[in-house]
Amino acid sequence: MDSISPKLVPSKERRRSILNRKRFQFVGALVVAVLLPWWVRTVVGGKLFEPAATNALVANTVAVVMAFWMRLSVETYPGIRRTYVILPSASTAHGIVVVWFLLSRFPYDRIALAAGFVLHVLWLYLLYFYAERQIVARIAVVPFGAVDRLLRISAVQWVRLKRPKLYDARASDAIVADFSADLPDEWEAFLADAALAGRIVYQHKQLAESLTGRVELEQLSENSFGSLVPARGYFHLKALIDFVVALVLLPLALPVMLMIAIAIRLDSSGPVLFRQQRVGFAGRKITVYKFRTMGDIEVSDERRAAMTLDDDDRVTRIGRRLRKLRLDELPQIFNILRWEMSWIGPRPEAEILSRWYANELPFYRYRHVVKPGISGWAQVNQGHVAEVDEVHRKLQYDFYYIKYFSPWLDLLILLRTIKTMLTGFGSR
């Protein structure tokens, strides 16, 4: 996501048109997914203004608005591809209006609702493949202070400004500067003029966080440390949602867990479940449950025994498949029901590893300010890691999650977790 390369992105990849404008996309969705299914009723002999048709028209409109709002909220986060969001957001929005009709018993046109959903999804995917896929952001750089690190991020086409003239940044999507640098008066005036002209102006550090998905902290006195305190209102709401979802999914999960347990028994000797002391919310010790994926191979180093290495000989045949699909984590639904864990959050570390990391890495304990999760921001970006240098970067991802703690970031992680499960990214 933040691959380092000295080469800039070729300008030929920037092919912007009216198809890329949000207003056009939204109005187009209303025409294709709302008005078109409604008008087709006249072709098949129906009446436009009968209750079922009118209700379907309103429902498709609400679904398009909801899906558009969800996409705008989620797509602000780094590393997001719109292909991750299109189908889930449209399915959620249209699904909500269908559930409302089922509960309210208002008359509705089933064909119009189904056609609205299908046309909506097709419209969004066509826009992505024909207009948005090749677009690369172009950002103008004010050449003072600590902005050189940004230029190594190849996901953006950087334009280093040579003079404080807005005309030179006319083709750029935004401007970035180091606000803490000692800028000459004419460059400060340039930034003020850019803001007055309605141009987007980024602080370099926040833009780096957005592009890399990591928060880097060098000292406790940094102003941004205070912003890492998570939103407490959402913290408690999230815990309630986690519990309810776990309760609803438990009847569906139990048969799957039973089949996995039988497969583990047939594959190797030993207990079905693996229990381990890990560090949870506020630094409290919790017992985390997983399906056993390893055999009994003696490891003399206790710290090494708590790690899973690449091509680890201890991983069983069934265990490797479970790890790739992340199904070995399924018993942690009971940790959620015990209010110890969340579906989404920083992964809980083994107690012995947590003590090691806390001694080696500044601020490591701060990751315990939120509940640990089955999946997290570090897992979908980095995968499984164990060594200190890798954990340092993982900690930066965890801090990013805490700083931007919100339902939309959780939704993004959920969508990317599905991809991770399908591809086996980061498993060991």
How much is the pLDDT for 210? 80
Structure tokens belonging to residue 105: 């018993």
The domain spans of the chain are: 17-132, 138-212, 232-423
**pLDDT at position 5:** 35
Confidence class for position 229, pLDDT limits 50, 70, 90 = low
Query: Which pLDDT score, from 0 to 100, does residue 20 have?
Result: 76
pTM of the model: 0.73
Neighbours of 43 (CB within 10 A): 7
For residue 399, the model assigns a pLDDT of: 87
pLDDT attached to residue 10: 41
The pLDDT of residue 173: 83
**What pLDDT sits at residue 142?**
94
* H, E, C per residue of the chain: CCCECCCCCCHHHCCCCHHHCHHHHHHHHHHHHHHHHHHHHHHCCCCCCCHHHHHHHHHHHHHHHHHHHHHHHHCCCCCCCHHHHHHHHHHHHHHHHHHHHHHHCCCCCHHHHHHHHHHHHHHHHHHHHHHHCCCCCEEEECCCCCCHHHHHECCCEEEECCCCCHHHHCCCCEEEECCCCCCCHHHHHHHHHHHHCCCCEEEHHHHHHHHHCCCCCCCCCCHHHHHHCCCHHHHHHHHHHHHHHHHHHHHHHHHHHHHHHHHHHHHCCCCCEEEEEEECHHHCEEEEEEECCECCCCCCCHHHHCCCCCCCCCECHHHHHHHHHCHHHHHHHHHHHCCCCEEECCCCCEHHHHHHHHHHCCCHHHHHHCCCEEECHHHHHCCCCCCHHHHHHHHHHHHHHHHCCCHHHHHHHHHHHHHHHHHCCCCC
137/26 Cα distance (integer angstroms): 21
**Nearest one of 385, 410, 403 to 239, comparing CA atoms:** 410
Query: Tell me: the pLDDT tens digits for 355-382?
Result: 888 888 767 888 898 999 999 999 888 8
Mean pLDDT of 320-340: 92
pLDDT for 303 equals 55
Confidence of residue 12 (pLDDT cuts 50, 70, 90): very low
Mean pLDDT value of segment 16-44: 86
CA distances to 99, 118, 119, 120 from 114, in Å: 13, 6, 9, 10
pLDDT of residue 118: 95
pLDDT value at position 365? 84
Q: Which of 422, 361, 352, 421 is nearest to 394 (CA)?
A: 361
Lowest mean pLDDT among 95-99, 150-154, 386-390: 386-390
Q: What pLDDT digit, counting tens, does each position of 384-419 carry?
A: 665 667 778 888 898 889 888 888 889 888 888 887
The yes-or-no verdict on residue 1 having pLDDT over 50 is no
pLDDT over 90 (residue 343): yes
Average pLDDT of every residue of the chain = 83
Q: What are phi and psi of 241, to 5 degrees?
A: -60, -45
Over the stretch 169-222, which tens digit does the pLDDT of each residue have?
A: 988 888 999 988 899 999 999 998 988 888 888 888 888 888 888 877 655 444
Q: Name which residue leads in pLDDT, 400 or 314.
A: 400
As a whole-number percent, the residues of the chain with pLDDT over 90 amount to: 38
At 235-277, the pLDDT tens digits run 899 999 999 999 999 999 999 999 999 999 998 888 999 999 9
* 4 confidence band (pLDDT: 50, 70, 90): very low
Q: Is the pLDDT of residue 6 over 50?
A: no
